[in-house]
Copies of this chain bind each other. A is one copy, B any other.
Amino acid sequence: MSTTPTTTRQWLLTRQPTGAPILSGPSATFSLVTAELPPLQDGQVLCRVRYISNDPGQRGFIGIGVADERMYVPPVHVGTPMRAGVIADVLASRAPSLQPGQTVMNLHLGLWSEYVVLAAADCQPLAPLPGGLPVTHFLGALGAPGLTAYYGLVEVLQAGSQHNTLVVSAAAGATGSMVVQIAKKLLGVKRVVGIAGGPAKCAWVRDRLGADACVDYKSASFADDLAAATDGFVDLYFDNIGGAILDAVLPRMQRGGTIAVCGAVSTYNDAEPMGLRHWMEIVSMRLQLKGFVLLDWMDQIPRAIGELVTAVVEGKIVLGEEHETVIETGIEGVPEAWMKLFEGANRGKLITKLV
């Protein structure tokens, strides 16, 4: 057993970016420092970070045009460590509930750090998943992204077999890939159409996740392909992307259709306003748009996780290694790994494994 560390390398927010975060140079958004670890207080644990969750929502911690007090989570202030969901091993504990050697998850208050001191109350001990599934799925399909898919469909869109066609953007992403499966296999939506970037992702969404069609937004024929895949028009749109893809879907919406506004990852690094040519479709087709945040169902989450795990065990929902993109890196590579989210580089959940 190694000596308990007293310092850690960690990434601080240096300045709020106005467009894309900058990885290096004098204007860098983040900086890597070595910091003293605070002495453990009662109720706290010292942990070694094993996995870091990469989420588009983290871009909101450092500014996306919404004032701090109006964001659904507190911001990361300049000069403080960047926050992230993490899976970590307990090295030392002053909390009776957790012992050294246990693996825990902290979805809100982990840091881009090698070691971190956390309140035990904020940490969830991770039991092994059935079927030998890795616990990292608790950051993805069985964690916040999967639950966002679940509540967006069940509560916001109230999706079911009465709906003819649902479209979801970022369909190969952590949330979108679960939207496809839950809508099609658990809720019985008649036709599910994904939108994803590139033929390989589209094939995966179709052949492995079970979408009826998946349209490649990088293709020159995107608009025509989307029209062909949504013949009869769209009742429900689960929007993870915003921007040009939202604008392309608006003229495909059915009269009275509903759009769940989950995020707008295509725009977070864009200093320009989101541009919509087809706004008047909202009026002419009597559309409803509904913003939502997973936090609003926090008290019901254990039940939903149970439902998803059962669906996996029963083989209704496919879940495996292919649903994660894991980047192994030292602490130096953490911001760069996170930025791959915005390049559309990942299939399923993008996870950083600290080595």
Task: Give the contact stretch, choosing among A162-170, A268-276, A339-347.
Answer: A268-276
In this complex, what residue of B is CB-closest to A67? B251
A70 contact set on B, CB distance < 8 A: 251, 281, 284-285
Task: Give the contact stretch, choosing among A180-188, A198-206, A290-298, A316-324.
Answer: A290-298
User: Given A251-B66, A251-B67, A251-B70, does the pair A284, B293 have CB atoms closer than 8 Å?
Assistant: yes
A263 at the binding interface (Cβ < 8 Å): yes
Chain A, range 233-290, C-beta contacts under 8 Å to B: 242, 247, 251, 261-264, 267, 272-290
- Please give the distance in Å from A118's CB to the nearest CB on chain B: 26
In this complex, what residue of B is CB-closest to A277? B273
In this complex, what residue of B is CB-closest to A64? B280
CA A319 to CA B75, docked complex, whole Å: 50
CA A280 to CA B279, docked complex, whole Å: 16
Q: What is the total number of residues of chain A having a CB less than 8 Å from a CB of chain B?
A: 39
A278 contact set on B, CB distance < 8 A: 65-66
Give me 10 A-to-B residue pairs in the complex whose CB atoms sit less than 8 angstroms apart, sorted by A's number: A65-B278, A65-B280, A66-B284, A72-B284, A242-B279, A264-B283, A274-B275, A282-B289, A285-B291, A286-B296
| Further 18 A-B residue pairs, CB within 8 A, beyond A283-B292, A284-B293 | A72-B283, A242-B279, A262-B283, A264-B279, A264-B280, A264-B283, A275-B275, A282-B291, A283-B293, A284-B291, A285-B291, A286-B292, A286-B296, A287-B290, A287-B291, A288-B288, A288-B289, A289-B289
Chain A window 200-214, contacts with chain B (Cβ cutoff 8 Å), 1 for yes, 0 for no = 000000000000000
- Please give the distance in Å from A47's CB to the nearest CB on chain B: 30
In this complex, what residue of B is CB-closest to A283? B291
